[in-house]
Chain A
């Protein structure tokens, strides 16, 4: 069955960097667009970034553009989110999700806490 497993979260100081990973199984990653979506503690959902199935297109929400980079390695069935210049308001659970339009499948998420 489809599984998405995120990792790489943790506690990081403001201004530092972190890289999240999402390993996919149960399907061929190379056929699907993939997203990162985040949820601040006790808050709603915020879409963060998309990478197309062939990495030919990416999109970002305004608040992370220029600081975050989404990438993929289809040979490793993995997508990444490189997060630089982290801020306190980036604190959230980060989910990876599959889908070009709606988000069909979600991982369990990884928690990123930005705090001094």
Chain B
């Protein structure tokens, strides 16, 4: 059971906009920054969003992040076939000694 809650799946057609949610609590998303990662099969995760809504250089502006209270979202606009991947949110959690917590991942299918 993951600390952060994501929908297990999402889908869209090419060109569409899809949103993936990530729900947490006051000890993680509510008080710390959120990152989003894309994982293609058999590869290491790649950061898409850091500091809640910042994109590293090289990540298209089709990807955007937002946060409100204890929830965060990743939006992908102009959906492309190679966006088909697993997406994970992550945040530091201040409870106990502190730990890095993740969502369970959302498998995005481009129809």
A binds B: no
List chain B positions with a Cβ less than 8 A from chain A.
none
List chain A positions with a Cβ less than 8 A from chain B.
none
